[in-house]
Structure 1
């Protein structure tokens, strides 16, 4: 049995594949997380206006903005309040834009993964804390 999510962390989960997004929502909710979903980068940016999140979980390959561009836009919007980020991707060697803070790739989970690996990545990212307060984007 897994430990409950600490203090019901609030996650923003972003993926443009509806079935994957629903699966992530169900999986993480069953693990005790509070989950808000967004089907795209622009929708995720809108969600940031109305809520505070503890960790962001984003797919890398999305349209119209990929996960990297989405996080860059979030960082411009939130500045030092940008929550920790977990990237999900089938790409073993991502090519982030040169303007992306390299520390954002500290929590990069390669697909396919087990639910326990995702939960652990979220907990590690949350424990590491926000990046924006010590580095630039």
Structure 2
């Protein structure tokens, strides 16, 4: 049984303001509770203040890329680390951090992102 979208709290991380706004709007319209962050350090600060069911993370960011951000989040959150859906304009690399259970290559359809979020959230339960 799937959790309703309204029961899922997402941390969405992207350093491009327009993409972040689009993801916030799109996922919010799907009923997800969305918190946004514009960088790895901002994501770490948000994760210290609240718990999340899924993290949606861009790969190419500064000052930390998505992989470094996940490493730092995992070091801090340990067992409380939620699954991660990576978004990237690049093909999936050979090695990604262990908690990355989905990797979507841009461009993707909003429905693909929603399904990935639901899939990783369901697999965690």
TM-score (norm 1): 0.84
The whole-number CA distance in structure 1 between the counterparts of 2:67 and 2:58 is: 9
Compute the displacement of 1:49 (Å): 1.0
The whole-number CA distance in structure 2 between the counterparts of 1:76 and 1:4 is: 27
Partner-residue secondary structure (3-state), 1:77: helix
The whole-number CA distance in structure 1 between the counterparts of 2:111 and 2:43 is: 24
Partner-residue secondary structure (3-state), 2:91: coil
**Number of paired residues?**
124
Check 1:7–1:22 CA distance in 2 against 1; reply closer, same or farther (3 A cut).
Answer: closer
Alignment of 1:32-111 (within 5 A): 32-94=31-93, 96=95, 100-101=97-98, 104-111=99-106
Aligned alpha-carbon RMSD (Å): 1.9
Compute the displacement of 1:8 (Å): 2.9
Compute the displacement of 1:94 (Å): 2.4
Partner-residue secondary structure (3-state), 1:126: helix
The whole-number CA distance in structure 1 between the counterparts of 2:3 and 2:23 is: 16
Task: Tell whether the 8 Å contact from 1:40 to 1:62 is kept in structure 2 after alignment.
Answer: yes
Compute the displacement of 1:95 (Å): 5.7
Partner-residue secondary structure (3-state), 1:26: helix
Q: 1:121 aligns with which of 113, 116, 124?
A: 116
Task: Tell whether the 8 Å contact from 1:28 to 1:35 is kept in structure 2 after alignment.
Answer: yes
Task: Tell whether the 8 Å contact from 1:15 to 1:62 is kept in structure 2 after alignment.
Answer: yes
The whole-number CA distance in structure 1 between the counterparts of 2:62 and 2:55 is: 17
Which structure is higher in strand share? 2
The whole-number CA distance in structure 2 between the counterparts of 1:78 and 1:124 is: 21
Partner-residue secondary structure (3-state), 2:11: strand
